[in-house]
Amino acid sequence: MGRDKREVAAIFVGGAVGALLRVALIQTDAGAAPGWPWVTFSENVLGTFLLGYFATRLQERLPLSAYRRPLLGTGFCGAFTTFSTMQLELIKMLDVHRYGLAIAYAASSIFLGYGSVHLATLFVRRARTVT
Amino acid sequence: MSVGVWAGVGLLGGIGALLRFFLDGLIATRAGRDFPLGTFVINISGATILGLLVGLGFTGNRLLLAGTATLGSYTTFSTWMLESQRLVEDGELRIAGANMLVSLLVGAGAAALGRLIGTHL
């Protein structure tokens, strides 16, 4: 495949750290309480803001780097945020007929996730015009 | 959690991220860049397998390692949102909207289907 070994190593390390942090935060959640999945929700919004920041900054501001984007973007942010757990949480809400909760959780995750990429992007681009 | 389980989370989390990277590269080179098909396939397959594991009765450390660590890293929320936002920036509103809505609906359906299959295996 001819992949740069540093790129592969960076994704592995970023992914490992992202997963460890995500799981560590999940451990702080006492919760069998069938309510708002605060941990996944916060991780997804925060990780998405960071990806928006890194992706914009690394692509548009800093010189091309062989390992920063794979380490921070593909590795860390990709692994720190998660789609599969969110879907499982959604179908568990549907199981107990909490349709309003499921719709609110899905809609606010997408709205805030999308909004956080938008804000992070604006933030990086504004900084560029100032400096 | 024991040290061994933590080590497993790190190792499998790294492997999940690498699987995502290689599969996305494989799909993107074939499908082009109009629709972010790589992330879509990754997220839907990951949601299906996580549902399957739950249906098969995985709990505790087995679910943590195979599900939360591996599939949690393999699937991604942030890239899904980044790609959607970049599509809007490029004026591809319909593709961006479809990417968000279809991924969500198919993802939930895939997790439910995976779980259903798991309970019947």
How far is Cα B107 from Cα A33, in angstroms, rounded to an integer?
Answer: 23
Q: What is the CA radius of gyration of chain B?
A: 16
Express each pLDDT in B89-112 by its tens digit: 999 999 999 999 999 999 999 999
Chain A nearest C-alpha distance from B25 (Å): 11
In A28-98, alpha helices (H): 38-60, 68, 78-80, 84-95
Is B92 strand, coil or helix? Answer: coil
The answer to whether the pTM exceeds 0.90 is: yes
A-chain residues within 8 Å CB-CB of B47? 83-84, 87-88
| Cβ neighbours around B30 below 10 Å, total | 9
Output the CA angle A36-A42-A46, nearest 5 degrees: 160
Residues of chain A above pLDDT 90, percent: 76
Contact B1 A117 (CB under 8 A): no
Does the ipTM surpass 0.90?
A: yes
Q: Does A37 touch chain B (CB under 8 A)?
A: no
Half-sphere exposure of B40 (CA within 13 A, CB side): 21
Question: Which residues touch A120 (CB under 8 Å, ≥6 apart)?
Answer: A49, A50, A51, A52, A53, A56
CA distance A63 to A57: 10
Residue with tokens 């560590």: A24
Return phi, psi of residue A4, to 5°: -65, 125
Residues of chain A numbered 39-98 and touching chain B (CB < 8 Å): 44, 47-48, 50-52, 55, 70, 74-75, 77-88, 90-91, 94
Spatial CB neighbours of B17, under 8 Å, sequence gap ≥ 6: A11, A12, A14, A15, A16, A18, A19, A74, A75, A78, A79, B73, B74
Q: Which residue is listed with tokens 């289907």?
A: B113
Q: Which chain B residues are within 8 Å of A21, Cβ to Cβ? A: none
- State how far the Cα of B106 lies from the Cα of B75, in Å rounded to an integer: 14
Residue B20: both structure tokens together: 């995502």
Lowest mean pLDDT among A3-12, A71-80, B55-64: A3-12
- Asked if the Cβ–Cβ distance from A84 to B20 is below 8 Å, we say no
pLDDT digits (tens, 9 = 90+) for A17-47: 999 999 999 988 766 556 899 999 999 999 9
Residue B100 CA to residue B85 CA, distance in Å, equals 10
